[in-house]
Amino acid sequence: MRAEIIAVGTELLLGQIANTNAQFLSQKLAQIGVGVYFHTVVGDNSERLLQVIRLAAERSDLVIFSGGLGPTQDDLTKETVAAYVGVDLVTDANAMKYIEDFFTQRGIVMTENNRKQALVLAGSHVLPNDFGMAPGMAIRHDSTTFVLLPGPPSELYPMVDRYVMPYLIDLLPEKQVFHSRVFRFYGIGESALEERLLDLIEKQDNPTIAPYAKEFEVTLRVTARAATAEAGEALILPVEKEIRDRVGQYIYGTGEDSSLHEVLVNELRKRGESIACAESCTGGTVASLITSVPGSSSVFRGGIVCYTNEVKNQVLGVSEEVLATEGAVSEQTAKLLAENVREKLGTTYGVSVTGVAGPDSSEGKPVGLVYVGIAAEGLPTVVKELRLAGRRQAIVGRAAKFALFYALQMQKER
């Protein structure tokens, strides 16, 4: 199946937002083996939109639109597709009820243009919008399937996961199930990972193996297509074994939405443990990652951002002698920071980060030198030395994630 994605909205052509919907949809289509051949962005202009629709219908079997389903006059995706396909717009009763309830519940008078959002193409398959007013829809015309989706990502993403993917899988010529497993890595770069798995990636067919990098973490998705989930699982297992044999030490978790801080917080909760951190060069990044996880207050007691030697000394008890002889960026300081913050805040684990984030070197130590300390109840403290590349923000981001990764490793020892 040849697919293309059309985003409708002048705000995209003005550069006010990036076309992240196309990225999201492309990832989803790749997972079920549908090839995307073009992305197009067109403004809120029915003539140019119609040109784009004609061309897409000629060259693609599946055309997915995002945007232009809203209540204003600018929103004309439905109207233009209806004109091309030659059908009327009719009111969808469920969508209308959702809209009316929305206004009634809030005690607001509904303006007339909101009714427009309940209109759908006659004869289309309606895709419910669980987070907004305008439903999506799918309609076949000649040999092309048109899918119309709302523009806001908060509405489009769940609509795709809940309703569009099952609809598309059903469209595929062979009835099959897509069964996938996501592996999350830390401590290895995307290219190094690819190199270690190159022969697997090159000969991939079923299951497919797709690595991608995001926010200093690397993810590998293995997707099998088969008649049943069980048969898919059977295809994935030997590949998983091979991956774990080669790079298992870098895998910290599996699953889509589980970044390092989420895995760490969830593990701490499960085990009834707690954590505190002392941060110098990461300046609060470790704490803000941990506290970004809902419910982290049950495991995270607090953190000290000790940006100066006075704070390291007065608040965290690193002696002036250690700071003078070993330096703020040293194994010994990292060790004391981790131990002392753990003791001060009474937690199971204490994590520390001290290093040189740049742009300038410090204490004669090079940019990128970072020490991460992990103290844990009942275990000797571990300090890891890192040499990180990149600019200030990259060094800070990577150092913070390394701290989380080492905390997870320490947890396995306890």
Give the residues lining the site for a copy of itself (CB under 8 A). Answer: 12-20, 22-30, 35-43, 48, 52, 55, 210, 212, 277, 279, 282-288, 290-292, 294, 296-297, 300-308, 310-311, 315, 344-346, 358-359, 392-393, 396
Run of H or E residues at 400: helix 392-413
110: DSSP letter: P
Q: Kindly report each contact of residues 263-268 with a partner whose C-beta sits within 8 Å and lies 24 or more positions away, as own/partner.
A: 263/184, 263/408, 264/290, 264/404, 264/407, 264/408, 264/411, 265/290, 265/293, 265/295, 265/296, 265/299, 265/300, 266/293, 267/408, 267/411, 268/299, 268/348, 268/411
Residue 397 identity: G
To a copy of itself, the closest distance from the beta carbon of 308 in angstroms equals 5
Identity of the residue, 19 or 319, whose beta carbon is nearer to a copy of itself in the bound complex: 19
CB of 283 to a copy of itself, least distance (A): 3
Distance between CA atoms of residues 333 and 199, nearest Å: 43
What's the CA gap between 170 and 352, in Å, rounded?
A: 51
In the complex, the smallest distance separating the C-beta of residue 124 from a copy of itself, rounded to whole angstroms, is 26
Would you say 139 or 334 has its CB closer to a copy of itself? Answer: 334
CB of 2 to a copy of itself, least distance (A): 11
Residue number, 292 or 325, with CB nearest to a copy of itself: 292
Nearer to a copy of itself, 38 or 84 (CB): 38
How far is 386 from 48, CA to CA, in rounded Å?
54
User: Quick one: 19 or 332, whose CB is closer to a copy of itself?
Assistant: 19
Q: Hey, what are 301's tokens?
A: 């007691």
Q: At its nearest, how many Å lie between a copy of itself and the CB of residue 28?
A: 8
Tokens found for residue 114:
């909101």
d(CA 373, CA 12): 45
Give min distance, CB of 301 to a copy of itself, in A. 5
Task: Map residue 407 onto helix, strand or coil.
Answer: helix
Give the integer Cα–Cα distance in Å for 219 and 19: 22
The CB-of-43 to a copy of itself minimum distance in angstroms stands at 7
Residue 279 vs 339, nearer CB to a copy of itself: 279
Which is nearest to 64 in space by CA: 30, 84, 40, 91? 40
CA atoms of 336 and 119, how far apart (whole Å): 65
Work out how close the CB of 304 gets to a copy of itself at its nearest, in angstroms, rounded to a whole number: 6
Instruction: Give me the least distance between CB of 37 and a copy of itself, in Å please.
Output: 7
* Separation of alpha carbons 217 and 209, rounded Å: 17
Q: Which is nearer to a copy of itself, 125 or 344 (CB)?
A: 344
- What the block records as the tokens of 191 is 């290219």
Closest distance of CB 351 from a copy of itself, Å: 12
| Helix axis angle, 77-85 to 46-59, nearest 10° | 50
Q: Is 251 helix (H, G, I), strand (E, B) or coil?
A: strand
Q: How far is CA 63 from CA 69, 112, 138, 143, 279, in A?
A: 16, 30, 10, 11, 49
Minimum separation from the CB atom of position 380 to a copy of itself (A): 26
Instruction: Identify which of residues 16 and 105 has a Cβ nearer to a copy of itself in the complex.
Output: 16
Which of 238/302 has CB closer to a copy of itself?
302
Check residue 88 and report its DSSP letter: -
Task: Return the number of the residue (54 or 97) whose C-beta is nearest a copy of itself.
Answer: 54
Residue 140: which residues within 8 A CB-CB, separation 6 or more? 146
Residue 45 or 94 having the CB closest to a copy of itself: 45
